[in-house]
Structure 1
Amino acid sequence: MRIVVAATPEVAITSLDALLSSAHELVAVITQPDKPAGRGMELTETAVSRWAKQNSQTLHKPITEEETIEILKGIDVLITIGYGKILSRAVLDVPLKSSLNLHFSLLPRWRGAAPVQRAIEAGDSFTGVTVFELDEGMDTGPIYTVKRFALDSDISSDDLFSELALIGPEALLETLDLIASGVKPTPQKSVDATRAMKLSREEGRIDWSLSAEKISAHVRAFTSNPGAWTEFRDTKIRLES
């Protein structure tokens, strides 16, 4: 099938590698435009942008919905992985077969922007990846494929992102096989849904009144983003797992 991937973060690269080496045709890669970053606020490209250039792949950084629609004309499947934009129905309907998302949780648990951190913060025993068909809701579309992953008691969000990035490609390739076979996805049960709200810098502050177990989960969940921290004598101290 003819595939376009819309992605931004480093964790998408294992899936891009798998698609590139598969029997499917990776027609193009879409990512976010370069943005100012760092102390010098220099324009910086995304990890996916670098990957596309290194692998000589057609790369797009669309600004408008009309640009995105034009890119998707004639493709079979759109796959999004942490793209960072909510796509309209007009965009989702362009691919001939489906528009998919690879989400790093066991949907409907942890719908939203920070599923990896929220799973660790909550002390979940299991998480995983879900490939589902995009609709206009926030991670509410019907599910094709789920892969579970058991959480060790000392795992950090950085480690978990790496682990889930390894099982994501298998879930995507299985889903593409299902679509080619005419299999329909299964609707989610919204009654079981939980929200993985976007992280804030203030959330990283450690509440020392919590149990040692909860403080450990807090530090492991927020170690890199937004950063776990506390204050001592008016000095901010960052903690890492």
Structure 2
Amino acid sequence: MRILFAGTPQVAVASLDELRRAGHEVVAVLTRTDAPVGRKRVLTPSPVAAAAADAGLEIIKANRIDEPVVARLADLKLDAAAVVAYGGLVPPSALRIPRHGWVNLHFSLLPAWRGAAPVQHALINGDDITGASTFLLEEGLDTGPVFGTLTERVLPDDTSGALLDRLSISGAVLLAQTMSALEQGRARPVPQEGEVTLAPKLSSADGRIRWSDPALAVKRRISGVTPEPGAWTMLDGQRCKLGAVILRPDVSDVAPGTVTEKDGAVLVGTGSHAVQLGGIQPAGRKPLSAAEWFRGVRGQELSFS
């Protein structure tokens, strides 16, 4: 089959590589335009664009699939399109172009966590099991019938970054298998069944920790927003980035947000019991271990808000 691959971030690169490794003919790659990266805001191709350039593939850069892009896709005589985190809507005019449609790899067990941030929401919600699904793209938000799924256990110390890295590898295999089944006429999409939950894109505000929440909710939120958009709190009017925390049910006499030390561990009170802080990055400084940071502020009354 003649396949278009549409994707943008690093987690999509494994799928592009796996499709080619499995012998599928990727005739072009659709990705978002170059974006400013780093403190100097240097315009940089997306990870998928860089991988496509290394492979010598045609690259179509567009943040929106407008009429010129639709015309180019039509010229490619596509049999199918594979989508992994492209980051833009596919309009009906483009959906109709490939004869087998657009197959989307989504990092959840649909219809759970439809939307832009399924892995983050799964961790914040405390899911024990998540996974990935391939489905036929249609106009609704992740509503199309499902070709295949895989499951993945959420580990106690998982962050959204670590979990997504694992899913990107296993999901790439699922996507390649789905495309093979489509080519061989064996793919049979099944309508989604079950409870629908939504996973909208997270903003920086979603990374702010509410210390009045129970400790488990605090830990889940930090895990879910790491590395993006990042966990943070306020200290003396300045924003501090936070690393992972460990539950400390043995310490329940620390007020929410209050920072203290016990047996060398830096503890923060929550709405239930304390959590042990692993790392912190104060405003304008490099990341520090919690112990290293606390040595520099010992003796002060400290409270996160």
Query: What TM-score do the two structures reach when normalised by structure 1?
Result: 0.95
Residue in 2 aligned with 1:54? 54
Q: Which letter does structure 1 place at the counterpart of 2:52?
A: A
Residue in 2 aligned with 1:43? 43
Taking the TM superposition and a 5 Å limit, the aligned residue runs for 1:208-223 are: 208-223=211-226
Q: Report the secondary structure of 1:207's partner residue.
A: coil
Q: Give the ranges of 4+ consecutive aligned residues of structure 1 lying more than 4 Å apart after TM superposition.
A: none
* Contact 1:223–1:239 (Cα < 8 Å) also in 2: no
Closer/same/farther in 2, CA of residues 64 and 210 from structure 1, 3 Å limit: closer
Q: Report the secondary structure of 1:231's partner residue.
A: strand
State yes or no: 1:91 paired with 2:84: no
Q: Which has the larger displacement, 49-58 or 100-109?
A: 49-58
Which residue of the other structure, out of 132, 155, 176, is the alignment partner of 1:173?
Answer: 176
Q: Which letter does structure 1 place at the counterpart of 2:191?
A: P
User: Could you tell me how far apart the structure 2 residues matched to 1:44 and 1:132 are?
Assistant: 31
Residue in 1 aligned with 2:230? 227
Closer/same/farther in 2, CA of residues 236 and 104 from structure 1, 3 Å limit: same
Residue in 2 aligned with 1:120? 123
User: Could you tell me how far apart the structure 2 residues matched to 1:118 and 1:64 are?
Assistant: 28
Computing the radius of gyration from Cα coordinates, the structure with the larger value is 2
Q: Which letter does structure 2 place at the counterpart of 1:69?
A: V
User: Could you tell me how far apart the structure 2 residues matched to 1:64 and 1:185 are?
Assistant: 25
User: Could you tell me how far apart the structure 2 residues matched to 1:200 and 1:234 are?
Assistant: 20
Residue in 2 aligned with 1:24? 24
Bigger relative CO (Cα 8 Å, ≥ 6 apart): 1
* Deviation sequence 1:142-201 (CA, Å, 0-9, x none): 100101001112211110111001111221122113212333311113x51100011011
- TM-aligned CA deviation for residue 64 of structure 1: 4.8
Query: What TM-score do the two structures reach when normalised by structure 2?
Result: 0.76
Q: Which letter does structure 2 place at the counterpart of 1:72?
A: L
* Contact 2:65–2:90 (Cα < 8 Å) also in 1: no
User: Could you tell me how far apart the structure 1 residues matched to 2:182 and 2:223 are?
Assistant: 37
* Contact 2:65–2:91 (Cα < 8 Å) also in 1: no
User: Could you tell me how far apart the structure 2 residues matched to 1:68 and 1:146 are?
Assistant: 31
Q: Report the secondary structure of 1:192's partner residue.
A: coil
- TM-aligned CA deviation for residue 137 of structure 1: 0.7
Matched length: 240
* Deviation sequence 1:104-162 (CA, Å, 0-9, x none): 11110000011010000000011111000000011111100101001112211110111
Residue in 1 aligned with 2:191? 187
Closer/same/farther in 2, CA of residues 64 and 139 from structure 1, 3 Å limit: closer
Q: Which letter does structure 2 place at the counterpart of 1:131?
A: T
Residue in 2 aligned with 1:205? 208
Residue in 1 aligned with 2:13? 13
State yes or no: 1:149 paired with 2:155: no
Q: Which letter does structure 1 place at the counterpart of 2:188?
A: K
Q: Percent same amino acid at aligned positions?
A: 38
Structure 1 unaligned blocks of 5 or more = none
State yes or no: 1:66 paired with 2:67: yes
Residue in 1 aligned with 2:256? none
Q: Report the secondary structure of 1:195's partner residue.
A: coil
User: Could you tell me how far apart the structure 1 residues matched to 2:125 and 2:107 are?
Assistant: 15
Q: Report the secondary structure of 1:112's partner residue.
A: coil
Q: Which letter does structure 1 place at the counterpart of 2:93?
A: A
* Contact 1:130–1:146 (Cα < 8 Å) also in 2: yes
Q: Report the secondary structure of 1:154's partner residue.
A: coil
Q: Which has the larger displacement, 156-165 or 15-24?
A: 15-24
User: Could you tell me how far apart the structure 1 residues matched to 2:17 and 2:180 are?
Assistant: 17
Superposed CA RMSD: 1.4
